[in-house]
């Protein structure tokens, strides 16, 4: 089911975390944060919305890193209900990415951030204050046309340079995060 991310309170601090990466190590927000900004991208392996944007996200993450902005991918989906999102499959996907890919097995991090869909992007400044909650570009289940505005990239470049994000931010749309059934 498609979900749209709500607007977020700009200036909110990034919730800290410690999660296992596909490299088998534990990573914290502080250890992965960029010196000029950080993007937390809630993604997964199976979602058609993520598949549509993934090559562009990989490209943008490479280019943002050169600007001092780091991208961190986090998968919080219920792997029992969606086996393609299990950790072992994440390890298989990780070599195609240009950023760390972490597993939020308890879903506590996704809840702390208020993530609702995949993909869901949170862009933070150098002080880890939220400056951008929006989409990568105009892609949906289909990749946006060639030459589409690179909204996340442009916003994070502006944040890296000035600390401020554009006033206009378009909400992410994607598959709803697959929450575990707490009663099970």
Give the pLDDT of residue 24.
96
Residue 84 lies in a domain: yes
Segment 21-49 shows an average pLDDT of 97
Backbone CA torsion sign across 129, 22, 110, 157: positive
Domain count within the chain = 1
Q: Is residue 16 part of a domain?
A: yes
Angle at 113 between CA 24 and CA 98, to 5 degrees: 45
Residue 182 lies in a domain: no
The rounded mean pLDDT for the chain is: 92
Asked if the model's pLDDT at residue 183 lies above 60, the reply is no
Cβ atoms of residues 157 and 67 within 8 Å: yes
Give the pLDDT score at 9.
Answer: 78
CATH number of residue 161's parent domain: 3.40.30.10
List pLDDT tens digits, range 99-153.
999 999 999 999 999 999 999 999 999 999 999 999 999 888 888 778 888 999 9
- Domain of residue 23: give its range: 2-176
Contact 156, 69 (CB under 8 A): yes
Q: Give the pLDDT confidence score for residue 146 in this predicted structure.
A: 82
Q: Which position has the token pair 């000035």? A: 162
Q: How far apart are CA 50 and CA 6, in angstroms?
A: 18
Which helix (H) or strand (E) segment holds residue 70: the answer is strand 69-75
Going from the C-alpha of 181 to that of each of 12, 45, 81, 149, 153, the distances in angstroms are 29, 20, 9, 38, 35
| pLDDT (0 to 100) of residue 10 | 87
End-to-end CA distance of the chain: 21
pTM: 0.94
Share above pLDDT 90 across residues of the chain, in percent, rounded to a whole number: 80
């Amino acid at each position: 089911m498609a979900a749209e991310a709500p607007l977020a309170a700009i200036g909110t601090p990034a919730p800290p975390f410690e999660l296992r990466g596909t490299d088998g190590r534990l990573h914290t927000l502080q250890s992965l944060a960029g010196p000029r900004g950080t993007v937390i991208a809630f993604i997964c392996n199976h979602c058609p919305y993520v598949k549509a944007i993934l090559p562009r996200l990989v490209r943008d993450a490479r280019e943002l890193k050169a600007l001092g902005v780091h991208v961190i991918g986090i998968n919080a989906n219920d792997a029992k209900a969606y086996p393609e999102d299990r950790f072992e499959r994440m390890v298989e996907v990780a070599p195609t990415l240009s950023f760390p890919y972490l597993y939020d097995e308890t879903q506590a991090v996704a809840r702390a951030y208020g993530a609702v869909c995949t993909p869901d992007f949170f862009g933070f400044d150098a002080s880890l204050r939220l400056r951008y909650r929006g989409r990568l570009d105009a892609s949906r289940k289909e990749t946006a046309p060639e030459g589409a505005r690179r909204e996340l990239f442009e916003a994070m470049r502006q944040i890296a340079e000035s600390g401020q994000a554009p006033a206009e931010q378009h909400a992410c749309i994607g598959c709803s995060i697959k929450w575990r059934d707490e009663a099970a």
